[in-house]
């Protein structure tokens, strides 16, 4: 979290939300919540945990965050699984499954025997659920990606561990896997007061852009995303080349590495090659602590694009929308909750459609302004840290109550859903 207490968010979400958070925090006082994921930096899950864990602690819970320890081979396997979750056909060998089992077993020691809740984020730590029958706490599987098209060899392997958890959390109802346990639907959020999202003056933005070597002489089209094929950075370059035929502009592609993504370096090289020799394309690979730089780049953008092929949620979209940027994005996964076509942004499915939408926005400042304002309001109502924290506390309180009854398995209809439109 930013170095501020929850009271600092009152002006954004209102006093009632903050009061409710403290009330729920009091009810869950001293509960130990252990989050486990596979990387400390890079990607949306690390971003969420960096914000969520300190605010949980601030309201009286004991919250800890542990990261799986794995070798390169393990992360190659989990990246293959990740791609399989996104419907990419992959080859899975017995040796890969053995690697996953071996590293999972080595990580059993991470689990805190005193944890009241263990939250496994995504598929990488699912193997830890082997410990579940011997553990006193309640276990939650938090699936941050759209598993609708997960391919059978991977899902057949991981499913028993996911089913062993007491409940699952998904960003969208469409993501649910019907494992016979409780399901919660809860999109994530950004921290508006963090370095990545706080207000930054135009002068500071200009200074940072100068330091990064990006001239502000032409409108900027920006995509911020890990160098990952599912973010389609090469497609963004194709979009840019169509746009530039009509309107002079620059393209800024910003990416970074996640320690659990061994494919990033290769994709980065492909992007460099596709852009080589074009002085209007700026490719930046920034270190993990570049929050202020990312903030400035998003604020300097005339149009933000997100050309993801698949997207669990897409925090980069939320970040841009919070900064009142007009966003053009493919309507996939969690982006569909955020970009409501013609209202809070523009949806575009193909390269040509995206190019047309970007050209339109570059030519129509009034439309940029209108979409940007509505985008910010949409984020303020739905995807802001205190609201997310409140939903988390409600979820934990519900699970705690269930734990006090003998039977914890509830039917699917008992699912709890917090989506845009439902009151915070």
CA gap 240, 271 in Å, rounded = 13
CA gap 121, 261 in Å, rounded = 15
34 binds ligand UDP (CB under 6 A): no
78 binds ligand UDP (CB under 6 A): no
- Joined together, the tokens standing for residue 106 give 């080595």
Instruction: Compute the least distance from the CB of residue 317 to ligand UDP, in Å.
Output: 7
225 binds ligand UDP (CB under 6 A): yes
The SS3 of residue 121 is: strand
CA gap 147, 127 in Å, rounded = 17
Tell me the pairing of strands 117-121 and 32-37. parallel
Instruction: Compute the least distance from the CB of residue 8 to ligand UDP, in Å.
Output: 20
47 binds ligand UDP (CB under 6 A): yes
388 binds ligand UDP (CB under 6 A): no
Q: Which of 49, 224, 297, 385 binds ligand UDP (CB under 6 A)?
A: 224
Residue closer to ligand UDP, measured from CB, 25 or 255: 255
- Joined together, the tokens standing for residue 58 give 């601030």
CA gap 206, 213 in Å, rounded = 11
66 binds ligand UDP (CB under 6 A): no
Instruction: Compute the least distance from the CB of residue 227 to ligand UDP, in Å.
Output: 8
Instruction: Compute the least distance from the CB of residue 126 to ligand UDP, in Å.
Output: 17
Residue closer to ligand UDP, measured from CB, 255 or 372: 255
CA gap 169, 359 in Å, rounded = 38
Instruction: Compute the least distance from the CB of residue 53 to ligand UDP, in Å.
Output: 15
Q: Which of 25, 44, 127, 264 binds ligand UDP (CB under 6 A)?
A: 44
123 binds ligand UDP (CB under 6 A): no
- Whole-number Cα distances in Å, 399 to 137, 224, 370, 403: 10, 36, 41, 6
Torsion of Cα atoms, 112 then 117 then 121 then 125, to 10°: 40
**End-to-end Cα, the chain, rounded Å:** 20
226 binds ligand UDP (CB under 6 A): yes
Residue closer to ligand UDP, measured from CB, 47 or 263: 47
Residue of 407, 418, 421, 40 lying closest to 260 (CA atoms): 40
The torsion angles phi and psi of 189, rounded to 5 degrees, stand at: -155, 165
The SS3 of residue 397 is: helix
CA gap 394, 105 in Å, rounded = 32
Residue closer to ligand UDP, measured from CB, 43 or 219: 43
Q: Which of 83, 316, 344, 382 binds ligand UDP (CB under 6 A)?
A: 316
Instruction: Compute the least distance from the CB of residue 318 to ligand UDP, in Å.
Output: 8
Instruction: Compute the least distance from the CB of residue 98 to ligand UDP, in Å.
Output: 27
Q: For ligand UDP, what does the binding mask look like between residues 319 and 348, x meaning CB under 6 A?
A: x-----------------------------
Per CB under 6 A, contacts with ligand UDP among 239-298 are 254-256, 286, 294
43 binds ligand UDP (CB under 6 A): yes
CA gap 33, 172 in Å, rounded = 23
| Binding positions for ligand UDP, rule: CB under 6 A | 43-44, 47, 224-226, 254-256, 286, 294, 313-316, 319
């Amino acid at each position: 979290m930013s170095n501020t207490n929850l009271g600092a968010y009152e002006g954004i979400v209102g006093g009632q939300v903050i009061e409710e958070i403290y009330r729920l925090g009091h009810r869950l006082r001293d509960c130990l919540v252990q989050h486990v994921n596979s990387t400390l930096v890079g990607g949306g899950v690390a971003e969420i945990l960096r914000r969520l864990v300190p605010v949980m602690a601030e309201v009286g819970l004991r919250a800890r965050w542990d990261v799986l320890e794995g070798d390169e081979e393990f992360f190659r396997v989990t990246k293959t699984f990740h791609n399989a979750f996104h419907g990419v056909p992959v080859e899975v060998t017995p040796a890969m499954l053995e690697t996953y089992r071996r590293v999972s077993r080595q990580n059993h020691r991470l689990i805190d025997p005193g944890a009241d809740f263990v939250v496994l984020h995504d598929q990488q730590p699912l193997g830890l659920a082997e410990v579940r029958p011997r553990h006193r706490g309640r276990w939650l599987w938090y699936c941050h990606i759209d598993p609708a098209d997960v391919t059978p060899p991977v899902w057949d392997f991981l499913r028993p561990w996911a089913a062993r958890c007491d409940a699952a959390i998904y960003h969208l109802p469409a993501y649910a896997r019907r494992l016979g346990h409780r399901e919660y639907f809860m999109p994530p959020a950004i921290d508006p007061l963090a370095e990545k999202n706080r207000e930054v003056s135009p002068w500071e933005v200009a200074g940072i852009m100068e330091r990064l070597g990006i001239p502000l002489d032409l409108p900027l089209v920006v995509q911020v995303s890990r160098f990952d094929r599912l973010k389609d950075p090469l497609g963004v370059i194709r979009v840019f080349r169509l746009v530039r035929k009509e309107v002079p502009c620059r393209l800024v592609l910003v990416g970074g590495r996640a320690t659990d993504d061994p494919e990033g370096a290769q994709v980065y090289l492909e992007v460099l090659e596709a852009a080589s020799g074009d002085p209007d394309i700026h490719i930046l690979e920034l270190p993990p602590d570049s929050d202020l730089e990312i903030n400035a780049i998003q604020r300097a953008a005339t149009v933000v694009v997100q050309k993801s092929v698949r997207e669990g949620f897409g925090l980069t979209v939320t970040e841009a929308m919070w900064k009142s940027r007009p966003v053009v994005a493919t309507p996939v996964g969690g982006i569909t909750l955020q970009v409501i076509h013609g209202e809070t942004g523009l949806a575009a499915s193909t390269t040509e459609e995206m190019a047309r939408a970007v050209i339109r926005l570059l030519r129509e400042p009034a439309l940029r302004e209108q979409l940007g304002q509505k985008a910010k309001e949409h984020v303020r109502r739905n995807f802001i840290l205190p609201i997310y924290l409140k939903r988390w506390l409600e979820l934990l309180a519900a699970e705690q109550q269930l734990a006090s009854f003998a039977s914890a398995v509830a039917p699917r209809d008992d699912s709890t859903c917090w989506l845009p439109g439902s009151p915070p």
